[in-house]
Amino acid sequence: MEEAEKTWSKLLQFESNPPSQAFVYKMEVYSKVGVPMKSLEVFREMRLKLGKTSVPAYNKIIEILCKAQESEFAESIMIEFVNSGLKPHTPSYVYLLNMYFNLESYDKLEEAFSQCLEKCHPNSSIYSIYLDSLVKVGKLDKAEDIFCQMFRDASIGANARSSALRHVEDEADYMALKKVELEEVMDNQEFTLEAWHLKRQQMQPFLQFYHPLSCITTGAFCVPALEKIDQDNNVIQVVILVPTRELALQTSQVCKELAKHL
């Protein structure tokens, strides 16, 4: 920190109005040493000295404030950023949605996502955070709609669609452990898969413990019950929510495709 302050003082000796990127670097330094409000002071100082604010500076201060969960300051700066006419806003919306998700402020997350749809084109990260939040609060119908939208929208990208499937493994140690168990059974034994056609209300007991997963090939939404691995009988039981009779007739193929993505 002291070295950074000395460097900053030397810079001011040669140039009374440093470039905006220099202020961004200084904000980052204060953030890394755990004083985000000093970063905010630097942001305001930049505005006073330069008479304007750059897009990287807006994105950086919003990132810092969101990581520090200084929600009121982050929201205020975000409003200012949007009203400034500067773009793009997408990185800052990612930081904002992440903060709301971590704070479990799901209503605000919903509102921010709606604003993002109006102001810019959400990227894969924004869709993934929003999808996770819908699952977290049990809005499964809406989560299905969002996932299908991601699947149809080529501009979101294949990585976003696959990350929607992988978020269970990425965020839940329990599910990662079950994935290892499943792989061990698949590697070492012949196995069969059992599935049932269930009504939505019958899914609730499983949804209390697992996120919904989707089979890429068929689009059938399903919930794995991986603790039901019967190694004695070489059976892995998987609960699948099949939306149509046609897909119910393809249960065997659905199971095989599901196993590839667990």
Please tell me the pTM assigned to this model: 0.59
Two tokens at 259? 């196993």
Cα Rg for the chain, rounded, in angstroms?
24
- Which residues sit opposite 235 in a β-bridge? 192, 230
Write down the pLDDT at residue 144.
75
- Rounded Cα–Cα distance for residues 8 and 52 (Å): 20
- Rounded Cα–Cα distance for residues 54 and 47 (Å): 9
Write down the pLDDT at residue 105.
97
The domain locations on the chain are: 1-122, 172-262
Write down the pLDDT at residue 8.
54
Q: Is 23 exposed, middle or buried (0-12, 13-18, 19+ CB in 10 A)?
A: buried
- Looking at domain 1-122, does it have CATH number 3.90.1150.10? no
- H/E stretch holding 68: none
Residues of the chain falling short of pLDDT 50: 13, 158, 160-231, 234-249, 251-252, 254, 258-259, 262
Label the pairing between strands 213-214 and 239-240: unpaired
